């Protein structure tokens, strides 16, 4: 069920959107013929492939090289590697800690949003107000 809701439904919707001209505001119109005609190989297919390979080389290779270099710096037992590890992983730890704290606040039995939604839907498991 979760796969259908969180994977398949967005995939089908993305496929549907790809055949339309869907602006953020206003009505959308179908552009299936124009979209599929651009996907069919034409006389400039080699140019498109060259452009894609060039873009991939320009973007992917430096990202991998920089990532590898930073991983070697963090892993090495050199002066300053502990500071680098802290700088790299601090945003992850702060974000995870903040998310955990927010979840604890939202799940409070008397004042949390989860309990308010349960109470509003008439659920018998919701804590009564003021308890």
Report if pTM > 0.85: no
Tell me, yes or no, whether 89 lies in a domain.
yes
DSSP state of 43: T
The range of the structural domain enclosing residue 98 comes to 79-122
Confidence of residue 96 (pLDDT cuts 50, 70, 90): very high
Tell me, yes or no, whether 19 lies in a domain.
yes
In this predicted structure, the answer to whether residue 92 has a pLDDT above a threshold of 80 is yes
Question: Which region among 24-38, 67-81, 116-130 has the lowest average model confidence (pLDDT)?
Answer: 24-38
**In terms of domains, do 55 and 36 share one?**
no
Dihedral of CA 63/64/67/70: which sign? negative
What are the tokens at 79?
């002066």
Tell me, yes or no, whether 127 lies in a domain.
no
Tell me the pairing of strands 20-21 and 29-30: antiparallel
Dihedral of CA 37/43/47/52: which sign? positive
Comparing CA positions, the residue from 117, 122, 121, 115 lying closest to residue 130 is: 115
**In terms of domains, do 69 and 83 share one?**
no
% of the chain surpassing 70 pLDDT: 85
Tell me, yes or no, whether 35 lies in a domain.
yes
**In terms of domains, do 69 and 90 share one?**
no
Confidence of residue 34 (pLDDT cuts 50, 70, 90): low
């Amino acid at each position: 069920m979760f796969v259908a809701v969180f994977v398949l439904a967005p995939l089908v919707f993305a496929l549907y959107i790809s055949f339309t001209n869907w602006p953020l505001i206003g009505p959308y119109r179908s552009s299936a013929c124009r979209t599929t005609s651009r996907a069919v190989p034409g006389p400039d297919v080699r140019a498109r492939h060259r452009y894609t390979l060039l873009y991939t080389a320009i973007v992917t290779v430096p990202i991998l090289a920089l990532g590898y270099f930073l991983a070697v710096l963090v892993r090495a037992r050199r002066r300053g590697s502990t500071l680098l590890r802290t700088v790299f992983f601090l945003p992850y730890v702060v974000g995870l800690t903040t998310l955990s704290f927010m979840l604890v606040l939202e799940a409070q039995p008397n004042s949390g949003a989860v309990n308010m939604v349960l109470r509003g839907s008439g659920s018998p498991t919701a804590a009564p107000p003021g308890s």
